């Protein structure tokens, strides 16, 4: 499995091999639970347990799910902030899942991360200009001082900030402006993949739209840019993504095009998630069917046997607690992990 990516590329039904920028296979990220004086491992938190998906060049893939479903962990494992417990991550033809830290530099130049909280993800003692320009130094992308300045100014303009604000500190900016700084920094090294982890959930409603539009704009402007857009709000994810993967307790339960996901959801969890999102229109809400799930998301420390969703599933059968459902293609480009579909 680890043979530098050539084999994995042509697997499956998708034959657009070189168009695939990221191919994740059976990714597992477990966190050990340590107890006692000797810090012995007593259990594993299976944050991500066998996740498989791919991302095409210039595509936006949405990763949606509730807290604790492992969506952020997937994002962080891809950029290798966490070391995967198992599985492969093939990025631009290279398996990076087992790459040692010292060899990750060039990989991280090609991918970057936008964080949720624009208040805590920017160094308060660094000026905005130096926050944005820092990655270019780290990756030795610029030689002359003037080239650096020009590039930082250009990045500021790209994200809709005035370059004159480069000497200010993060506290002098509003939340939306700070997120723009975060985006400019993420774009500094011309990445081919940007992982956006809940980039708008800390912002006010009227500012959220500005940032969503900016992210969409940038992605159309730079042909080589792909996003993984991680969020809990399915309406936002659907708006920005071409394809969506729905996660539940460390597993992908359904993955398909965003239009298909809304029109024809197949997994019972996807259906419940869709119906839980209120539509800002009282006329539609009047007649809408509501699936109210019972219970809560179980702990990934001790996930239920069989399908992880079966205890809350309104249509579960006795078999659901015995068989772990495979993610299988039920119609072109529509994959579901449910034995009943």
Partner 1 sequence: MATILEVKNLHTQFNTDAGVVKAVDDVSFKIGEQEIVGVVGESGCGKSVSQLSVMRLIRRPGEITSGQILFEGQDLMKYEANGPEMRSIRGAKIAMIFQEPMTSLNPVLTIGRQLTEMLELHQNMEKDAARNRAVELLDMVGIPKAETRLDDYPHQFSGGMRQRVMVAMALSCNPRILIADEPTTSLDVTTQAQLLELMKVMVGDFNSSLILVTHNLGVVARYAQRIYIMYAGRIVESGRCKDIFGKPRHPYTIGLLSCVPRIDEKEGKTLSSIKGLPPDLIDMPRNCAFLPRCSYAIERCRVEPWPDLEPVGDDHFTRCFVNPEERQR
Pinpoint the alpha helices (H) of the chain: 6-9, 71-78, 105-110, 128-138, 145-158, 175-187, 205-221, 234-240, 258-263, 268-276, 282-287
Shortest distance (Å) from residue 290 CB to partner 1: 7
When asked if residue 206 is in the footprint of partner 1 (CB under 8 A), the reply is: yes
Q: Does 205 bind partner 1 (CB under 8 A)?
A: yes
Beta bridge partners of 53: 24
Q: Does residue number 142 form part of the binding site for partner 1 (CB under 8 A)?
A: no
The single residue listed with the structure tokens 């402007």 is 221
Q: Residue 259: CB partners within 8 Å, gap ≥ 6?
A: none
Identify the helix (H) or strand (E) that includes residue 111: strand 111-114
Number of H helices, E strands in the chain: 11, 12
Contact 55, 228 (CB under 8 A): yes
Q: Which residue among 100, 140, 146, 283 contacts partner 1 (CB under 8 A)?
A: 283
165 lies in the site for partner 1, by CB under 8 A: no
Which of these segments, 99-107, 110-118, 184-192, 232-240, binds partner 1 (CB under 8 A)? 232-240
48/214 with CB nearer partner 1? 214
The answer to the question of residue 103 lying near partner 1 (CB under 8 A) is no
- Subset of residues 56 to 85 that bind partner 1, contact rule: CB under 8 A: 66-67
Minimum Å gap between C-beta 299 and partner 1 is: 10
Instruction: Give the residue from 333, 321, 312 showing the smallest Cα distance to 258.
Output: 333
The interface with partner 1 within residues 8-47 (CB under 8 A) comprises: none
* Closest approach of partner 1 to the CB of residue 18, in Å: 27
Binders in 284-323 for partner 1, by CB under 8 A: 284-285, 290, 292-294, 296-297
How many whole angstroms separate alpha carbon 288 and alpha carbon 217?
33
# chain residues binding partner 1, by CB under 8 A: 45
| Site of interaction with partner 1 (CB under 8 A) | 66-67, 174, 176, 204-210, 212-213, 216, 232-236, 238-240, 258-259, 262, 272-285, 290, 292-294, 296-297
């Amino acid at each position: 499995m680890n043979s530098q990516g050539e084999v994995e590329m042509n697997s499956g039904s998708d034959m657009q091999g070189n168009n695939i920028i990221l191919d994740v296979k059976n990714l597992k990220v477990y966190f050990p639970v340590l107890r006692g004086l000797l810090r012995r491992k007593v259990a594993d938190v299976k944050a991500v347990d066998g996740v498989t998906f791919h991302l095409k060049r210039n595509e936006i893939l949405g990763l949606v799910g509730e807290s604790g479903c492992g969506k952020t962990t997937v994002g962080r494992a891809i950029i290798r902030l966490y070391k995967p417990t198992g599985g492969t991550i093939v990025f631009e033809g290279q398996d990076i899942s087992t790459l040692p830290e010292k060899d990750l530099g060039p990989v991280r130049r090609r991918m970057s991360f936008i964080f949720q909280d624009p208040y805590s993800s920017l160094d308060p003692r660094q000026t905005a200009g130096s926050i944005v320009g820092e990655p270019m130094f780290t990756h030795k992308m610029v030689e002359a001082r003037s080239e650096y300045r020009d590039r930082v100014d250009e990045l500021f303009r790209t994200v809709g900030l005035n370059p004159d604000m480069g000497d200010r500190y993060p506290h002098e900016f509003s939340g939306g402006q700070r997120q723009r700084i975060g985006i400019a920094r993420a774009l500094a090294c011309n990445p081919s993949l940007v992982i956006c982890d809940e980039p708008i959930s800390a912002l006010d409603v009227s500012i959220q739209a500005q940032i969503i539009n900016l992210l969409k704009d940038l992605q159309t402007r730079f042909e080589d840019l792909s996003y993984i857009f991680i969020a809990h709000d399915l309406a936002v994810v659907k708006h920005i993504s071409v394809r969506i993967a729905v996660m539940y307790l460390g597993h992908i339960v359904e993955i398909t095009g965003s239009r298909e996901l809304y029109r024809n959801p197949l997994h019972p969890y996807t259906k419940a998630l869709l119906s839980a999102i209120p539509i800002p229109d009282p006329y539609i809400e009047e007649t809408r069917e509501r699936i109210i799930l019972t219970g809560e998301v179980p702990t990934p420390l001790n996930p239920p046997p069989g399908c992880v969703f079966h205890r809350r599933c309104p249509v579960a059968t006795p078999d659901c607690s015995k068989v772990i459902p495979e993610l299988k293609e039920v119609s072109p480009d529509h994959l579901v992990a449910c034995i009943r579909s």
